[in-house]
Structures are given as C-alpha cells and as structure tokens.
Amino acid sequence: MAKDHYLPAGFIGRFSSDATGAYRDRKLWTYNVKARKTLNTAASAIGYKKGLYNLHDGRTVDKWDYEGPLNRVLDDIANSKDVTLDDWVHIAVPFITGLFVRGKEFNERYENMPMMKEFMKSGMVNPDNTNGSRIMRLQRQLSPVIAARWVVLHNSDPTTPMISNDLGLVLTQDSNNGAVGWAIPLDPQTVLGIFPQKVRRIARYNGSTWYANIEHLRPSAGMFKGMNEQVARASREFIFGADESSMETNKQYTGVEVEEKMSVIMEGPWAQMFSGKELVAHEAEWQIVAGLANLNLSPDEIPKHEFSLEDLNLQNKWSPPIVLFPANLTPFPSGVGIRGNDMVLALELLDDFESHIIRPPDPSRKLKSRTKISSESSETVMEPGQFLKCPALMVVIGQLRNVFKKLIEPYRGLGWFEPSSLNFQVII
C-alpha cells in the first residue's frame, strides 16, 4: 500500500541542514510525541499514512500535482523574490490550501461531526465519503486562501531555527491589528503568515507580468523562539527541524491534548471571516484567477477578453482533481476585479444569494446586483461582480461541465455528501 504523504516529503526536506541530494531524501531531526523519541531520519520517513487517499475499489484521490515545482516557488518566497501570479495560483495556493484538508486529522475532524456520526451509524454514507469531502473542501478552500493576506516573516537569527509539526501550521495573531490566522514555517529561516480577508489586492501588473501580492517583514528573533513553542504545543504526533538541539529544546511543549481543538485550529479563522453562503458563491474564483494568470493579459485586455476553456491550460498545470458544480444553483458573479494595475478579489455576496436557487420558473424574480461599474477614472476599472455581465463566462461554465464529465468519469456514482454545503454537490 502506497505511503500517502499529507505533508509533501520534499517540503519536509526543506528543514534539513543538508544542502545536497533530493529534498525528500535529506536527513533531519524529529521528535515523536507518543514514543517520546528523538530520531535522525530521512524526510520521506515521516508525515505519511499508508492508504490515506485510497478509495474502496483501489483508486485514489492522491492528486497533489503541484509538488514537483513546489520548492522552486517556496525558495522564491523565502528569498524575497517576486512570484508570478501564475506560479502562485497553480503551486503556492494549492499547497497552502492542502494543509487544511490533506492531513490525517481531517478524517477525524470530519467523521466526528455530530451529523456525520449519525449518518455513518445509519450506513447512509459511502465508505469513500471522507475522501470525497476532502476534495470538496479543497475546491471551496482555494478562494479564501487566494483572498488571504500573505506575509512572510524572515528569521535572521541562526541560533533559533524554525521547526514545524505534523499539521504544518499553528494558529497565530497579528500583534499590530489583532487579526487571527496561521503561521506556516517554510524552512528554518522563513515563516509564512496567512490571515483571512474578504477583500484584498491579490496581484499587481508591472507592465509585462502579473505578480502575487506577498508582503515581507523581518521581526525580532524573540518572535521565532515563541513561535517554535507554539508549533510544538499544536503538534499531535511529531515535530521536526534541522538539528537535535531544536528537538530537545521544544519537546517539553509537546504532548498537549489538542484533539478536541482541531476544528478551532484548522477552521476557526475561516469560520469567523466567511459565511457558508459566501464560500458557496465564490468557490469558482480559483478558476477565474488561474485562467487570467495563465494568459497573463494586461489590465486593459482583461475586461475585453472572451473567456474560453483554453484559458486554464488544464493539461499542463495543476487544477482541482475533481471539479464539482452545485446542481441547484445558477452561476454567481465573480469577485475578481481590476483597479488600475491591481487585481482584487472580493469574497462578499455581490448579489442576492436566494435569487440563484433553482426553483420552478417565476417570471417575477429577477437577479438584483449591487455591483457598480466605475467610469469616472481614466484607469481600467472592472469592479468585482462585473463578470456577472459577461455571457461568455457563463458559456465557459457550461463548457467546463462537459469537459470535466470526461475527466471525472471514473468517480461517477460515488455519491459523496458534504454536510457543510448549502447546496447539493454532484459529480456531473
């Protein structure tokens, strides 16, 4: 049975002090919380569970194809280099999103939901339901990750290397504004902060290329010492890092019972920021941003662009492994907008949610949009919601349904149920 890594082995290898060899084969130090042992081992030897993504008939949902170029993009982030929107949305965004749905803890968190417990007892759900929900959550989580504030913290103190844990993250709070999010160690000298936001400038055009909006800060070394302690406290099974001393220093903070806090740790800031309706309305934003990133259109060209399936380059770049469409909702307006040379994303409800629910025909119901298109500026301005007025986009959504019928044919009939959905999700 295959070793399904919920933390990419190549990513774990970034915490090794070795400078040569494949990342997944590099040696590092790890402390096993349950066994209370410190070991020096290869990165590929931790962070996995056999058969985690297997379906009952032998197939798998292990489709994390962004891992190949991941370290190249993370190196750029760690070295304060500009990251193209294309690399960011196809590699960095799905990697961060995956941290919230790939882990073993997802199974426990999901299956311990009161509703799911009842369904599982009654035998009403498919045995593959958890992995099905994992993919549904992945699709819905992509948009919030894109809209989140990305801020990189650089550690200049070699005596306090960052460690990580089996979750790959820990809850944190911005001391300047009180925002709650996650700290995600990327290597011993780099931590990525992710803070949920409803509206954000996600990219800027420099005259030839779109680049992701990523901030960089250099805080005091004391911050990283305290962060290591919190990383250890949030661990469930193990911590890992570049040297043995880091394990010895921080193992005293492990062993805290965090099982009952998993929903708060993994979902809390998202749940505080977004309603279920907002997540449903904007779950297709990744496809919009990915298409624009792939084409690298200028701000002036985007409002004039006629969308087509070729925008996404599905054959050569990562996309969600299974695309699911709501069966009882009409398409929502996109929250992607252009303001001058900036690309923005708004994850607010841009019109009446109820008007999208498919009901028996009623000629008195009309779609009411609160979106206004500015014409007062000489710069290109396409406010979030303007895509509602783009018939071509609606045509593409219809085309996507037909294309993905072929891509997901092997999964037809699984009947996955996602209790957090406000609409039925069906494989078409």
Residue 336 bridge partners (DSSP)? 345
Q: Render pLDDT for 238-255 as a digit per residue (tens, 0 to 9).
A: 999 999 999 999 999 998
φ, ψ of residue 141 to 5 degrees: the values are: -80, -20
Asked whether residue 9 carries a pLDDT value surpassing 80, the answer given is yes
**How far, in Å, CA of 88 to CA of 97, rounded?**
12
Phi/psi region, residue 384 (left: phi>0; alpha: psi -120 to 50; beta: rest), is beta
Q: What is the mean pLDDT of the chain?
A: 85
DSSP state at residue 386: G
| CA neighbours closer than 13 Å in the CB half-sphere of residue 321 | 19
How many H-runs (helices) and E-runs (strands) does the chain carry?
13, 18
**How far, in Å, CA of 115 to CA of 221, rounded?**
45
Enter the tokens of residue 211: 């680049």
Q: Which of 44-53, 65-74, 170-179, 402-411 has the lowest mean pLDDT?
A: 402-411
Mean local confidence (pLDDT), 203-225: 95
Asked whether residue 180 carries a pLDDT value surpassing 70, the answer given is yes
Burial of 65 (0-12, 13-18, 19+ CB in 10 A): middle
Phi/psi region, residue 47 (left: phi>0; alpha: psi -120 to 50; beta: rest), is left
| Contact yes or no for 77/152 (Cβ under 8 A) | yes
| Contact yes or no for 167/234 (Cβ under 8 A) | yes
State the greatest distance between any 2 C-alpha atoms of the chain, in Å, as a whole number.
Answer: 71
- The proportion of the chain whose per-residue pLDDT surpasses 70, expressed as a percent, equals 82
Q: Which of 87-101, 159-173, 319-333, 385-399 has the lowest mean pLDDT?
A: 385-399
Q: Render pLDDT for 53-92 as a digit per residue (tens, 0 to 9).
A: 998 888 888 888 899 999 999 999 999 999 999 999 999 9
Asked whether residue 392 carries a pLDDT value surpassing 70, the answer given is no
Enter the tokens of residue 147: 């809209």
Res 306: pLDDT: 80
Res 417: pLDDT: 43
Asked whether residue 327 carries a pLDDT value surpassing 70, the answer given is yes
Other beta carbons within 10 angstroms of residue 354's beta carbon come to 9
At which residue do the structure tokens 């990133």 appear?
A: 293
Which candidate, 242, 247, 263, 9, places its Cα nearest to that of 112?
Answer: 263
| Contact yes or no for 236/33 (Cβ under 8 A) | yes
Which candidate, 297, 71, 81, 338, places its Cα nearest to that of 202?
Answer: 338
Which candidate, 224, 220, 230, 280, places its Cα nearest to that of 258?
Answer: 230
